[in-house]
């Protein structure tokens, strides 16, 4: 979004405006942008333009639709206008995405907790089963050892 | 040895439930029922073995040896299921920690 704003501003400040048949640009009144987009003022050129072509300067900024101030206003509006502006639209989409993710995370957490409880129940039951089977094996070994004819080791 | 046919029938059920438990996913609700069923069957088996072991005679030796082998086999199978549940619980704890991290990031 920032790059787009930069590019649009660059294009705007370098464009020419038709003022009563005469084409005027910021450059003509001593305002220039360097390759970083930074504006600088040539005071001598600006003073001359103010002295000799005030109508051109006025038209450069205020010509309906094409004047720089009007175009800037339209551009800024497209970003900051409530609800339909790009910033608000992005912000709303972000808020809605965040809410959706929050809901999904809550649902997932609940599902995980339920699954965890069930697994814990299965684990505890299996632990008891293993214990019981171990006890059964020990019982059978005891039974086998008690059979007649079994010589118990003297250790 | 009147308990023997009953014990054999029970052993068959225990074997079947254990095999099914090893094949069914732990997340499947059927696994809950199978575990409970197995617990019941093993409890019943304990009672039958106690009868069998009340006053064993020498001729009971093959039966007892066979029951011992079966019991040890069941125990191994049950341990595998137990271990699997333990691993899943461990994974669950790990996921929970991860979720809490995401939660704390989201709250910032």
- How do residues B34-91 score in pLDDT, each as one tens digit? 999 999 999 999 999 999 999 888 899 999 999 999 999 999 999 999 999 999 999 8
- Among A11-15, A118-122, B30-34, the minimum mean pLDDT is found in A11-15
Position B108 in a domain: no
Q: Which two tokens stand for residue B103?
A: 């939660």
* C-beta contacts of B19-28 below 8 A and 24+ residues apart: B19/B77, B21/B77, B21/B81, B22/B77, B22/B80, B22/B81, B26/A119, B26/A122, B26/B84, B26/B85, B26/B88, B27/A115
Note whether B31 contacts A: Cβ–Cβ < 8 A: yes
Place of tokens 């505890």: A124
Which residue in the set B56, B103, B106 is minimally distant from A147, CB to CB?
B56
Q: Is residue B71 part of a domain?
A: yes
Q: Which of A119, A130, A140 sits opposite B78 (nearest CB)?
A: A130
Distance CA A105, CA B101 (A): 12
CA nearest to A9, candidates A96, A76, A57, A67? A76
Q: Does the ipTM exceed 0.90?
A: yes
pLDDT at A144 over 50: yes
Q: Percent helix, strand and coil across chain B, each rounded to 5?
A: 90, 0, 10
Shortest CA distance from B74: residue in chain A:
A133
Tell me the mean pLDDT in the region A95-102: 94
Domain annotation covers residue B61: yes
Written as six digits, the tokens of B67 are 């029951």
Q: Could A112 and B57 be called an inter-chain contact, meaning their C-beta atoms sit closer than 8 Å?
A: no
Compare all CA atoms of chain B with the CA of A141 and give the residue at the minimum distance: B68
Q: Between B50, B85, B99, which is nearest A105 by CB? A: B99
Is residue B90 included in any domain, yes or no? no
User: Is residue B95 situated within a structural domain?
Assistant: no
Cβ contact A143–B64 (<8 Å): yes
Q: How many domains does chain B have?
A: 1
């Amino acid at each position: 979004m920032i790059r787009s704003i930069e590019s649009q501003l660059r294009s705007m400040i370098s464009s020419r405006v038709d003022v009563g048949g005469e084409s005027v640009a910021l450059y003509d009144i001593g305002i220039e942008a360097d390759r970083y987009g930074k504006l600088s003022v040539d005071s001598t050129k600006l003073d001359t333009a103010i002295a000799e072509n005030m109508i051109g300067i006025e038209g450069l900024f205020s010509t309906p639709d094409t004047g720089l101030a009007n175009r800037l206003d339209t551009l800024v509006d497209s970003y900051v206008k409530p609800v339909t502006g790009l910033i608000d639209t992005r912000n709303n989409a972000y808020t809605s995405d965040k809410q959706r993710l929050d809901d999904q995370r809550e649902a997932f957490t609940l599902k995980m907790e339920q699954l965890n409880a069930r697994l814990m129940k299965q684990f505890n039951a299996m632990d008891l089963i293993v214990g019981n089977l171990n006890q059964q094996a020990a019982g059978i070994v005891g039974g086998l050892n008690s059979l007649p004819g079994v010589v118990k080791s003297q250790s | 040895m009147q308990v023997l046919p009953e014990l054999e029938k029970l052993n068959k059920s225990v074997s079947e439930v254990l095999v099914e438990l090893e094949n069914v996913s732990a997340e499947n609700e059927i696994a809950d029922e199978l575990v409970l069923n197995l617990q019941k069957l093993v409890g019943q088996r304990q009672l039958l073995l106690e009868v069998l072991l009340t006053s064993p005679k020498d001729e009971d030796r093959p039966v007892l040896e066979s029951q011992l082998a079966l019991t040890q086999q069941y125990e191994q199978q049950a341990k595998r299921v137990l271990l699997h549940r333990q691993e899943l619980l461990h994974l669950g704890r790990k996921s929970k920690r991860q979720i809490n991290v995401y939660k704390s990031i989201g709250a910032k």
